[in-house]
Amino acid sequence: MKLEHFALNVENPVAMAAWYVEHLGMQVVRQIEQAPFMTFLADDSGRIMIEIYLNPADEVPPYRDMNPLLVHLAFVSENPTADKNRLMAAGATLASEQHLEDGSHLVMLRDPWGLAVQLCKRGKPMLAETEK
């Protein structure tokens, strides 16, 4: 089986989708423009998706108050320092930064809605290379 998507109930899916498209290179695969504003976003490989929506059937988790280790979205970054600076200029905030012994560089940010976003440059890449 393949993972199709991971879903998150968020406070402003329309604005969040636009920010993820503009600043993280995500692509809108499907979007409903009325409540609950379901939006499927794919990474640049087109193989990994997240779904964001505002569904009143349950609460929006308090992402701002949650430890980033509880839930975060991790993105491959060739240059975490440059991407960190660019995203912070676009409204993200820094949570932590680590340089690991294996050569990995990990930056944990919070997007403008408080959801944790990690930038990962692994000492040894974990994802299989795929052709676009």
Looking at the fold, whether 89 and 44 belong to one and the same domain comes out as no
Range of 8's domain? 1-58
Q: Does the pTM exceed 0.85?
A: yes
The CA dihedral of 79, 82, 83, 89, to the nearest 10 degrees, is: 180
Distance CA 108, CA 66 (A): 13
Domain count, the chain: 2
Residue after which a domain boundary falls, among 58, 78, 97: 58
d(CA 41, CA 52): 8
- In angstroms, the CA 130 to CA 132 distance is 6
Is there a single domain that holds both residue 66 and residue 103? yes
Q: What is the pLDDT of residues 24-75, one digit of tens each?
A: 999 999 999 999 999 999 999 999 999 999 998 899 999 999 999 999 999 9
The CATH number assigned to the domain holding 20 equals 3.10.180.10
Give Cα 37 to chain centroid, integer Å: 18
Residue 72 lies in a domain: yes
Tens-digit pLDDT profile for residues 64-75: 999 999 999 999
My answer on whether 66 and 31 are in the same domain is no
